[in-house]
Amino acid sequence: MENSKVPLHLCHVHKLSNFINRTHILVHSIALVFLISYRASFFFQHPKTKATTLPWLLVFASEVLLAFEWLLSQSFRWRTVSRTVFPERLPEDDKLPPIDVFICTADPEKEPTVGVMNTVLSAMAMDYPPEKLHVYLSDDAGAAVTLNGMREAWRYGIKCTAPEAYFSAGEDDGDENGGFGGSEFVQEKEHIKEKYEAFKKSVTENARIGDTRCNSRRDHSAVIEVIQETSSDNADAIQANEAKNKPLLIYVSREKRPSQPHHFKAGALNVLLRESAVISNSPYILGLDCDMHCHDASSARQAMCFHLDPKISHSLAFVQFPQNFCNISNNDIYDSQLRSAFKVLWKGYDGLGGPCVCGTGYYIKRVSLCESSISEAGDAMKLRQCFGPSNEFIKSLRQINKPDRMFVQRNNAQPNETQLLASCAYEDGTKWGKEVGFLYGSVVEDYFTGFHLHCKGWISVYCDPKRPQFLGSGTTNLDDFLVQGTRWSSGLVDVAISKFNPLIYGPFKMPTFLHSMCYAELALFPIFYFLSLWGFATIPQLCLLNGIPLYPQVSNTYFIVFSFIFLSSHSKHLYEVLATGSTFRHWVNEQRIWMMKSVTSHLYGSVDAFMKKLGMREASFFPTNKVDDVEQLKRYNMGVFDFQTSRLFLVPMVALVILNMASFVVGIARGIFVGELDKMKDKGSIPLSVTLVSALVSLIFYFFGSIIFM
Ligand SMILES: O=c1ccn([C@@H]2O[C@H](COP(=O)(O)OP(=O)(O)O[C@H]3O[C@H](CO)[C@@H](O)[C@H](O)[C@H]3O)[C@@H](O)[C@H]2O)c(=O)[nH]1
Ligand SMILES: [Mn+2]
């Protein structure tokens, strides 16, 4: 930097909203203390019948759990910040560090090759010196169609960020020329479009010819290919590419064998970490999912505003951009955009030490993933125990200790070395996945890896510029949405019930307790939500049916406490929704989907995590479907709920709706016909304990029934 006094980025603390948040925390907490004291006092009061103690206990437990969850989530509201970057102040191109881009794909059927190639092309078209970009695609399916797609992508050399999104009708992001400059470039645009159509055709044809190796997805040897015009060996390809001044493009399909665990995406990323180390070994890595393309070409430069800031770069592990989606409808009935996470929570996370890794759209420093106390000592024996047997890889470690290395070094890695590094037995007995690379402890490898980085003292930064840097495809039907939610819940709860529970492990490792609270909230919310919402969805209703009072009468002063808590939490949520530019209707959508997810995804995810812990189930990662069903998409865009999902998800929701409607009707009828509610428990009614037990039995019945019949 010429003038180190001019900052590359600025951090703004949101003083007003922090003030509002903190005041709300204070007032709401006081109300919760009153609520808890009201409930607690019940147990010391007048003679109670056994029948009423149980529902009181259950509803009290739900309230305490939800209150605790609320308290944890306030850590995200304590100190919210946002950032501005000044990429124009970056040093000259020749002083920028090289970047390796990692893209993962796992299933050519669920993740159509054209979509994956759009991501690849968008990464190659980034506004960054091309000789400093190296794009790696990990193909977990080892599919010929993907490898061919890469070759075609290279051959057509379409330089356009995300052609599909760009050429498809209805492009609406305000930049009419999609980065091509003025209207005089219309011709150029037509030319590129033609090229793109030809490219698409050849990829689709390849897919049609068929990938017969479907059953070999879990059983195939490694293929590593540096893409170039005529296929010969990799060393030639690297030299040929250098001459062309194009980003390097590398296809990696790691070896997979049924007998060896492959650790899903984290396993794939670790193979990329090793392969890239012996090929380009760039100090920075951009991680992308195959369904998330670079929408704005400047993200790399924006990220470098943080990485190249001498004040923070020594401790900065990664810069995280939000996930934005290009297929969100106006109504967004399922909250597919994950508004709360990326518009509210992450800004507060950032104010406390940084967000976790979000799996895609992050620029991470290679050293932060491959650091080890022994790598400095240089004891070859120990290094091998930690990083595995490849000498080439260990040699690469010495270079990354100088993270701001600007020169590009493309090595002619030997085929036997690259094969070794992608072999499925490579990690046996090493620290890969445990201390080195992306960690295997959870299927939400991103969250878990981020947590460990923060525990080791690294910080991260959240950068959410106006123009979305990355655009992906979100889940737009209920089934995909709930399946994805179940996977996330399961992975998060894995961490909550391990020795890495952020509330226990975090405080000793992280600089602030509030930051551990953020991590703890994410790990624990599925458990808290499913337990408390099941409580709230059944206990008061059963009590109403049986005429058991659970809440204070209107004349009681505690009635104000309950009403206040209800209003306070709902209005705070509404305020956040409106303040982040969403609508009242979106607030309704979020409330609704929160309840639906809590009684299904969060429940099943938590149960799945406990079963894995007990050894009753194996970990799994079913990639989200990225092929749009035309009918379902239509319904989503019209804002119509699509209940085409499995019985596992439907049964609890339907059962609860029936219970709630029945108790509502009975409650109203009683209010009208019998008058005072609390006087009406007659001797002839079914005892509450019986109702409770039968409700429980029928739920268990439903639950196992739907597992068995699925
Ligand atoms: O065995 C696997 C499974 C998945 N993937 C890839 O992982 C990515 C994410 O998978 P996706 O099915 O799109 O899952 P999402 O739920 O949309 O992903 C979110 O959640 C994941 C953790 O569950 C994170 O890894 C992702 O970055 C985050 O976007 C995709 O590129 C997949 O191809 C693999 O490479 N190997
Ligand atoms: Mn995805």
pLDDT digits (tens, 9 = 90+) for 619-671: 888 888 888 888 889 999 999 888 888 888 999 999 999 999 999 888 888 87
Query: Residues 194-219: what's their mean pLDDT?
Result: 74
- Distance of CA 111 to CAs 117, 118, 146, 163, 207, Å? 10, 12, 10, 17, 12
The span from the CA of 365 to the CA of 273, in Å, is: 11
pLDDT of residue 182: 57
Give the residue numbers marked as catalytic. Answer: 140, 446
Whose atoms come closest to the Cα of 481: which ligand? 1
Ramachandran quadrant class, 308 (left: phi over 0; alpha: psi -120 to 50; beta: rest): alpha
The span from the CA of 115 to the CA of 641, in Å, is: 26
- Distance of CA 468 to CAs 65, 173, 419, 545, Å? 36, 10, 37, 51
The span from the CA of 117 to the CA of 558, in Å, is: 61
Give Cα 52 distance to the centre of its chain. Answer: 42
Query: Residues 537-556: what's their mean pLDDT?
Result: 90
On the 0-12 / 13-18 / 19+ scale of CB atoms within 10 A, 26 is exposed
Whether 623 lines ligand 1, by a CB cut-off of 6 Å, is: yes
Whether 104 lines ligand 1, by a CB cut-off of 6 Å, is: yes
pLDDT of residue 709: 45
> Is 266 strand, coil or helix?
helix
Closest by CA position to 164, among listed 292, 341, 67: 292
Backbone angles phi, psi at 423, to 5 degrees: -80, 150
Whether 140 lines ligand 1, by a CB cut-off of 6 Å, is: yes
Assess whether pLDDT exceeds 80 at residue 233: no
Query: Residues 107-132: what's their mean pLDDT?
Result: 93
Whose atoms come closest to the Cα of 253: which ligand? 1
The span from the CA of 488 to the CA of 342, in Å, is: 16
Question: What does the angle CA 196 – CA 198 – CA 203 come to, to the nearest 5 degrees?
Answer: 95
Percent of the chain with pLDDT over 70: 85
Q: Residue positions in the annotated binding site for Mn(2+)?
A: 265, 289
Q: Are 265 and 445 in contact (CB under 8 A)?
A: yes
| DSSP bridge pairs for 185 | none
Whether 234 lines ligand 1, by a CB cut-off of 6 Å, is: no
Q: Are 418 and 470 in contact (CB under 8 A)?
A: no
Quick: pLDDT tens for 279-314. Answer: 999 999 999 999 999 999 999 999 999 999 999 999
The span from the CA of 322 to the CA of 301, in Å, is: 16
pLDDT of residue 534: 97
Quick: pLDDT tens for 392-407. Answer: 999 888 877 665 566 6
The span from the CA of 595 to the CA of 619, in Å, is: 26
pLDDT of residue 697: 58
Closest by CA position to 136, among listed 253, 304, 295, 298: 253
The span from the CA of 143 to the CA of 645, in Å, is: 29
The span from the CA of 402 to the CA of 397, in Å, is: 10
Q: Are 345 and 79 in contact (CB under 8 A)?
A: no
Give the residue, out of 252, 285, 289, 445, with the most ligand 1 atoms within 8 A of its beta carbon, to mutate for a pocket test: 289
Question: Which residue is it, tokens 């509404």?
Answer: 574
Q: Are 451 and 495 in contact (CB under 8 A)?
A: yes
Q: Are 150 and 251 in contact (CB under 8 A)?
A: yes
pLDDT of residue 180: 46
Strands 284-289 and 362-365 come out as: antiparallel
The span from the CA of 34 to the CA of 622, in Å, is: 45
The span from the CA of 430 to the CA of 370, in Å, is: 13
Sign of CA dihedral 255, 258, 261, 264: positive
On the 0-12 / 13-18 / 19+ scale of CB atoms within 10 A, 104 is buried
The span from the CA of 513 to the CA of 420, in Å, is: 43
Q: How far is the CA of 325 from the centre of ligand 2 (A)?
A: 10
Whose atoms come closest to the Cα of 105: which ligand? 1
Whether 69 lines ligand 1, by a CB cut-off of 6 Å, is: no
The span from the CA of 125 to the CA of 133, in Å, is: 10
Give the residue, out of 102, 104, 486, with the most ligand 1 atoms within 8 A of its beta carbon, to mutate for a pocket test: 104
> Is 470 strand, coil or helix?
strand
Query: Residues 79-86: what's their mean pLDDT?
Result: 97
**DSSP secondary structure code for residue 103 in this structure:** E
Collect all residues with Cβ–Cβ distance below 8 Å to 419 and sequence separation of at least 6.
222, 224
Question: What does the angle CA 496 – CA 500 – CA 505 come to, to the nearest 5 degrees?
Answer: 115
Backbone angles phi, psi at 237, to 5 degrees: -60, -45
pLDDT of residue 217: 82
> Is 252 strand, coil or helix?
strand
Least confident segment among 507-521, 522-536, 684-698: 684-698
Closest by CA position to 145, among listed 116, 104, 113, 121: 113
